[in-house]
Chains A and B, each alone.
Chain A
Amino acid sequence: MRNFVHLHSSSAYSAHFGVSWPEDLAAAASVDGDALAITDRDGLYGAVKHVKACRAAGIDPIIGVDLAVLEEGPHGLYASGRVVVLAHGGAAVAPGTGYAALCRLISLAHAGSATVGVTLEQMAAGVLDPISGTPALTVLLGPMSPVGRAMGGNQQYLLPRRKFRTWHRAMPAGSLVVELVNHQSSQGTAMSMPYAVRLLKLAQEFEVPAILSNAARYAKEGNAPTADVLDAARNIASLGKIEELQTSAQAWIKGASAMHALAQEIVFYAGDGDAEVKQLWANTARLADKCRLDPVADLGWKKASTPEAAVLGLTQPAQLELRQRTEAGLIRRYAGVSHGKLRDIRTRLETELATIGKLGFESYFLTVAEVSEMIRTMGVRRAARGSGASSLVNYLLGISAVDPIANGLLFERFLSDNRSTLPDIDLDVESAQRHAVYRRIFERFGDQRVTLMSMQNSYRARGAVRDAGLALGMDKGEIDQIAKQLWRFSASSFREALAEKPELRDLAAQLQHSRLAQERGEGAHEGREGQQLDLLVDLTERLDSLPRHISMHPCGVILGDSSLLNRTPVQPSGMGLPMSQFDKHDMDAMGMLKLDVLGVRMQSAMAYAVREVIRLHPSKQEVIAQGGHAENAPYINDAGGIDLDAVPLDDEPTFELIRSTHTLGCFQIESPGQRELVGKMAPTEFSDLVVDISLFRPGPMQSNMVTPYLESRAGFARPHYAHPDLVPVLEETHGVTVFHEQILHTFSTLTGCTLSRADEFRRGLGDPAVEPAVEQYFREHAAVKGYSAAVIEEVWETVKAFGSFGFCKAHGAAFAVPTYQSAWLKAHHPAEFLAGLWEHDPGMYPRRLLVAEARRLGIPILPLDINLSTGEYRAERTLSMEGGTAPQAVTGIRLSLAGVYGLSGTELKRILAGQPYDSLADLRDRAKLSRPTLKRLAQLGALDSLHRQAQHLTGNTANRSDLVAHVNSLPAHRPGRRTAPLEGQLALPLGDVELGTLAAHHVDLSPAETVRTELDLLSLDVSAHLMDSYAPLLKTLGVSYAEELLGLRNHSEVFVAGVRIATQTPPMRGGKRVVFISIDDGTGCVDASFFSEAQEKSGPLLFGTRMLLIKGLTRRTGPRGITVQALQAWDLHDTASLPRGAVLEGAATNGYHQRGSQQPPYVA
């Protein structure tokens, strides 16, 4: 068959435009062609995946872009059309030149402030190789170009010709071709045959080569309806209303004979003969040959590049430098270690250095060390995370703080000779400082060597159903209702989910009903709606996982040498710094060094807490007294500063707190499931936390490793070992395999292979293509070493079940550090710690739950006060009246003005600049607040102190409602200097006459009304709990409160009620879904688990309802832990449906509305 190369095809990575994945396009193209171009819209988003797909399909990759062209219009630059730009390969120019020119041209298109695209002048300059002056790119002028688009207007011949001449004159010789597309659309549309004929005529007139493409958007014709839906989503309009719909369904990767027929049709109607068809065909093939890329020569495939030695400040080879620095680290870190031990450590270091040297990664480690040190000198908290902690080199360079020797961490898990991919070293920094850290990295290495990494945001069920509904023109409210019920399944299994998931029962019934009605021929209208629901499901499934847009990756920073911007196009990220168009899946193939610098809110919260401690207690003695620390604690400096990283890891009060399961706010161990686990496990030392964190993962949960571990640990069962040889490997976890490291040792022990080989085997587990070979090796070699068939069988089953799920111990150890540190802070400095949580909001729960936690801990929440509150949640010394005896000095938390709804940043700044205020008039004059803001402050009681102060002088009895009414009646603030007092004129100290004489008209607010106001304006219920107003109803229903549960017997039937604070569907044993719902009833948090039957009974209430009544059985989880296994749930507002028919007359319905941010957080 003839060979045809498609030179214009958009992949799914052209967001809201392309339909098919690069693999599907390459597979379709390889049937009749030996190469394929990817030309995504305005970027190389799919280019690396395309190269991989082409290699897999055995065809040559070609890379280009479908780029917007800008022209000057009456309102500035606008996109007047699109052209395809293809990079030349090594056959036409020096290798890499074409691809580099393409990257730079695309970056340029994104560099402008307003519209993405390039002008003709920029294009003409950009296609040339700056060194040789010859074209490195070819521009395809086709039906969507400014020339093609001019054909639809009034001057359908003159205008296109004039535009073509402009392009022809401007573009360097040999850089321009005409692209003919024949989608056989109906007449008068861009992709119609007659337009192609006219473009061919222009090409002939100006003697520019014409080529044939199919401007493909999908691999197969049947994908076309999805393209329609994407057109609708892109235009944010229903299919019936948009004009920009594709003109036919022919934009697919057609075979060579179909393409040949299209060429013949164009040429025939142009009045030419076979010679012209041959010419067109040959031109296309020639251009394809010119643009074939060699991944290695043109793209630098898999060739790692790091910043140059000079940039790192190296005066000697990287190899020597690394050896010297690690030697120095060895002396520093292991000063007091015995001679023999030190010899072992040195051997380990030599092994690591040899591996690093073999792979040539010395400068990679030095680069990461440089970044880590730079962050440290910025005074920002940082911690290495992930498998990087396995490396002694990282520990010696100061990148990681976890001792890999003491914790038994294996270098082979991190890096080995068998694996040439760049390793991941992840750094956690304070979230509030993340952007500052990024900026510093750009400054340090130069912006030609650094860019942020991007990530693809793809359609998931909710977004997909919304856009599918939009395309069908369905009612927005109806779609929202459906979207709310879609919970964590991929859009592609929507129809399957309809049949299975209890929360979708209503929708499934509706679908069934309208289908039946339609079959019976009832009401045409109703029938149509039923069809729409069916279509909705199909279209939602079609959109599944298609990319929607790229955004800045939460932590990836790419570091390279000075050629980085010739290897990736960049575009501005949300924070302004440039980001690469490549995502994490592209890094390895492009040999790009990615450093994960992740902003961790907990690190910010802890840093904040430490600052608050020092602010209130500015000396070592005071901090020791307040926190109950040991005399002369070495981790507290003279000024009262706490070095969290130096805190000993054996603090008893910290472990007591963890065992109490009151771990709300503690890193990694605050979720309901984790609280249950720490309750059962009762950790007593740091290594327990490492195990705990590693156990709470999909793998261990699914393969039922938790129960045997807990039973052996508690001494109820004897640990079981498949063979005595495995005792040293599995002893620390009582015979249960928890860590990757243990799998490596197990493999090595039974088969005698090296640890790095064992890590290769571990990676093959769970991969159906590799696992059989791993199994064979394991069985054969273990048999050779003399293990019995039974032992081999048992160990293999464990290893196989473990799959690739388990946890790397280095991860667990790195995570356990902030876990321990946050629990330590909570145990010793709870108020300052809570203030830090409030300020940086790191956890899974809403801030309002922390109010309950503060109440439980006896920490006063101090109300908003115009003079005492700042823009932060601050710890404040105050007197507590709790307990009825003499007032006690305690630390409370003062609410922040930043939390007030609608208060602008500039208003906040003015308030803070003017503090303190002595009267309402003073506040008005100097803070210049808008009337709504002033009213909200009055409603929240922030002006109460001014009010009370004035009343103290006059004996006035007006209440807060009177104050609010007064503020509301004030004239709106008028900016201007007319009313400002003259400079130098002092106000008479008369007191606040205005507030001292308020008329007392209004009835004071009820506590429930006050709570409602607080929730509306602050998202917090401070003065009382929002459940308080439900107390009568709950009493009638016989509801038990959270604080009472621990006193109940196991398996008691109870009713609990409260406001939903978290919903989780963690992975569970056997793959069955369990829904965890946590509710807060004012006395604490109740964790309820819903298994299949309870989910069935609760149906749509599972995810949509905020106020819940739950019937269930208590379940003891440990000495201090209790949860509820739910039987059924009800909506507390739906009083008619509540059980026992016991509903109070006139019970509060509490119908306040929540704003978006107050929705229960759906957390993974």
Chain B
Amino acid sequence: MGIFSEAVEVERSPSGELVRLIWRGVSYSIAPHPLCWYERRRWWELETRVPPGEGVGVVDTQMWRFQLHREGIPDGLTLDVARYRPADRWRVIKIHEAVEDIFKEVLGGA
């Protein structure tokens, strides 16, 4: 993960699926079954308050790996995007070079 990150916008279908992503002014379609996982945070070093009753997005950060396609362009693009809650802001964390590695990485070479 880099230190610098860029904001992106994400759109959902009426049924809630993530369908489009807008990055650097360009609109991409999101391939079905995007991978979602959570990264732990060292919140006790980062937060000033964790009052009872609140705490979503304190312990972990929601991460998404999107396979993106631009209309009319055959080659896809893979982005890791973090969704910060409770504010619901999306930021690009990592740009992948090739799509094929991903399954291997995720399933530990299964």
Are A and B part of the same complex?
Answer: yes
Is A221 a contact of B56 with CB atoms below 8 Å? yes
With A194-B106, A248-B59, A249-B59: A184-B48 Cβ-Cβ less than 8 Å: no
Is B55 a contact of A184 with CB atoms below 8 Å? no
What residue in chain B is nearest A492 (Cβ atoms)?
Answer: B52
Give Cα distance in the complex from A224 to B86, angstroms: 14
Give Cα distance in the complex from A8 to B17, angstroms: 28
B106 contacts which of A269, A531, A542 (Cβ < 8 Å)?
A: A269
With A187-B108, A197-B107, A534-B48: A222-B56 Cβ-Cβ less than 8 Å: yes
Binds B, one of A238-246, A666-674, A822-830, A1092-1100: A238-246
Is B37 a contact of A185 with CB atoms below 8 Å? yes
Is A535 a contact of B55 with CB atoms below 8 Å? no
Give Cα distance in the complex from A224 to B106, angstroms: 25
Is B48 a contact of A535 with CB atoms below 8 Å? yes
A534 contacts which of B35, B49, B52, B53 (Cβ < 8 Å)?
A: B49
Q: Does A410 contact B (CB under 8 A)?
A: no
Chain A, residues 538-554, CB within 8 Å of chain B (1/0): the string is: 11011000000000000
Q: Does A1154 contact B (CB under 8 A)?
A: no
Q: Does A678 contact B (CB under 8 A)?
A: no
Interface centre among B37, B47, B48, B107 (most CB of A within 10 A): B37
Give Cα distance in the complex from A17 to B68, angstroms: 41
B window 36-65: CB within 8 A of A: 36-40, 42-45, 47-56, 58-60
Residues in B neighbouring A224, C-beta threshold 8 A: 55, 58-60
Give Cα distance in the complex from A225 to B59, angstroms: 6
Residues in A neighbouring B56, C-beta threshold 8 A: 221-222, 249
Is B40 a contact of A222 with CB atoms below 8 Å? no
Q: Does A183 contact B (CB under 8 A)?
A: yes
Is A471 a contact of B38 with CB atoms below 8 Å? no
CB distance from A222 to the nearest CB of B (A): 4
Give Cα distance in the complex from A613 to B40, angstroms: 70
CB distance from A239 to the nearest CB of B (A): 5
Residues in A neighbouring B106, C-beta threshold 8 A: 187, 193-194, 269
A542 contacts which of B38, B52, B108 (Cβ < 8 Å)?
A: B52
Q: Does B110 contact A (CB under 8 A)?
A: yes
Q: Does B24 contact A (CB under 8 A)?
A: no
Give Cα distance in the complex from A228 to B51, angstroms: 14
CB distance from B57 to the nearest CB of A (A): 8
Residues in A neighbouring B60, C-beta threshold 8 A: 224, 248-250
Is A186 a contact of B51 with CB atoms below 8 Å? no
CB distance from A308 to the nearest CB of B (A): 49
Q: Does A10 contact B (CB under 8 A)?
A: no
CB distance from B23 to the nearest CB of A (A): 23
CB distance from B54 to the nearest CB of A (A): 6
CB distance from A519 to the nearest CB of B (A): 11
Is A535 a contact of B37 with CB atoms below 8 Å? no
Q: Does A621 contact B (CB under 8 A)?
A: no
Is A192 a contact of B37 with CB atoms below 8 Å? yes
With A197-B110, A222-B55, A224-B60: A186-B38 Cβ-Cβ less than 8 Å: yes
Chain A, residues 761-794, CB within 8 Å of chain B (1/0): the string is: 0000000000000000000000000000000000
What residue in chain B is nearest A543 (Cβ atoms)?
Answer: B52
Is B110 a contact of A194 with CB atoms below 8 Å? yes
A window 245-276: CB within 8 A of B: 245-250, 264-265, 268-269
Give Cα distance in the complex from A197 to B107, angstroms: 9
Give Cα distance in the complex from A539 to B50, angstroms: 7
What residue in chain A is nearest B54 (Cβ atoms)?
Answer: A222
Residues in A neighbouring B58, C-beta threshold 8 A: 222, 224-225, 249
CB distance from B15 to the nearest CB of A (A): 10
CB distance from B107 to the nearest CB of A (A): 5
Q: Does A223 contact B (CB under 8 A)?
A: yes
With A194-B108, A194-B110: A184-B52 Cβ-Cβ less than 8 Å: no
Give Cα distance in the complex from A184 to B64, angstroms: 11
Give Cα distance in the complex from A227 to B108, angstroms: 29
Give Cα distance in the complex from A534 to B43, angstroms: 13
CB distance from B24 to the nearest CB of A (A): 27
Is B48 a contact of A222 with CB atoms below 8 Å? no
Residues in B neighbouring A539, C-beta threshold 8 A: 50
Residues in A neighbouring B49, C-beta threshold 8 A: 534-535, 538
Give Cα distance in the complex from A184 to B39, angstroms: 9
Give Cα distance in the complex from A227 to B60, angstroms: 13
What residue in chain A is nearest B33 (Cβ atoms)?
Answer: A268
Is A225 a contact of B50 with CB atoms below 8 Å? yes
B33 contacts which of A227, A240, A265, A471 (Cβ < 8 Å)?
A: A265
Chain B, residues 67-101, CB within 8 Å of chain A (1/0): the string is: 00000000000000000000000000000000000
Residues in B neighbouring A221, C-beta threshold 8 A: 55-56
With A194-B107, A194-B108, A225-B50: A245-B40 Cβ-Cβ less than 8 Å: yes
Residues in B neighbouring A492, C-beta threshold 8 A: 52
CB distance from A155 to the nearest CB of B (A): 13
CB distance from A18 to the nearest CB of B (A): 16
What residue in chain B is nearest A198 (Cβ atoms)?
Answer: B110
Is B52 a contact of A186 with CB atoms below 8 Å? no
Give Cα distance in the complex from A246 to B43, angstroms: 13
Residues in B neighbouring A269, C-beta threshold 8 A: 106-107
Is B50 a contact of A538 with CB atoms below 8 Å? yes
Residues in A neighbouring B40, C-beta threshold 8 A: 186, 245, 247-248
Q: Does A864 contact B (CB under 8 A)?
A: no
Give Cα distance in the complex from A471 to B45, angstroms: 12
Is B44 a contact of A184 with CB atoms below 8 Å? no
Give Cα distance in the complex from A222 to B57, angstroms: 8
Give Cα distance in the complex from A665 to B47, angstroms: 52
Residues in B neighbouring A268, C-beta threshold 8 A: 33
Q: Does A932 contact B (CB under 8 A)?
A: no
Residues in B neighbouring A473, C-beta threshold 8 A: 44
With A187-B108, A194-B108, A471-B44: A222-B39 Cβ-Cβ less than 8 Å: no
CB distance from A189 to the nearest CB of B (A): 9
Residues in A neighbouring B110, C-beta threshold 8 A: 194, 197-198
A window 211-246: CB within 8 A of B: 221-228, 239-240, 245-246
Residues in B neighbouring A184, C-beta threshold 8 A: 36-38
What residue in chain B is nearest A515 (Cβ atoms)?
Answer: B48
Is B38 a contact of A248 with CB atoms below 8 Å? yes
What residue in chain A is nearest B37 (Cβ atoms)?
Answer: A184
Give Cα distance in the complex from A184 to B53, angstroms: 23
CB distance from B58 to the nearest CB of A (A): 5
A window 177-217: CB within 8 A of B: 183-188, 192-194, 197-198
Residues in B neighbouring A197, C-beta threshold 8 A: 107, 110
Residues in A neighbouring B47, C-beta threshold 8 A: 531, 535
Q: Does A472 contact B (CB under 8 A)?
A: yes
Give Cα distance in the complex from A539 to B54, angstroms: 12
Give Cα distance in the complex from A197 to B103, angstroms: 13
Give Cα distance in the complex from A224 to B55, angstroms: 7
Is A225 a contact of B107 with CB atoms below 8 Å? no
CB distance from A744 to the nearest CB of B (A): 42
CB distance from A940 to the nearest CB of B (A): 50
CB distance from A281 to the nearest CB of B (A): 18
Is B48 a contact of A188 with CB atoms below 8 Å? no
Is B43 a contact of A225 with CB atoms below 8 Å? yes
With A248-B59, A248-B60: A541-B38 Cβ-Cβ less than 8 Å: no
CB distance from B88 to the nearest CB of A (A): 14
Residues in A neighbouring B35, C-beta threshold 8 A: 265
Residues in B neighbouring A222, C-beta threshold 8 A: 53-56, 58
Q: List 18 A-B contacts (CB under 8 A).
A: A187-B106, A187-B108, A194-B107, A221-B55, A222-B53, A224-B58, A224-B60, A225-B43, A240-B42, A240-B44, A247-B38, A248-B40, A265-B35, A534-B48, A534-B49, A535-B47, A539-B50, A542-B52
Residues of B within 8 A of A (CB): 33, 35-40, 42-45, 47-56, 58-60, 105-108, 110
Cβ-closest 4 pairs across A and B: A222-B55, A249-B59, A248-B38, A224-B59
Not counting A250-B38, A538-B52, a sample of 14 additional A-B residue pairs whose C-beta atoms are within 8 angstroms of each other reads: A183-B38, A187-B106, A194-B108, A197-B107, A222-B53, A223-B55, A224-B55, A224-B60, A240-B45, A247-B40, A248-B38, A249-B38, A472-B44, A542-B52
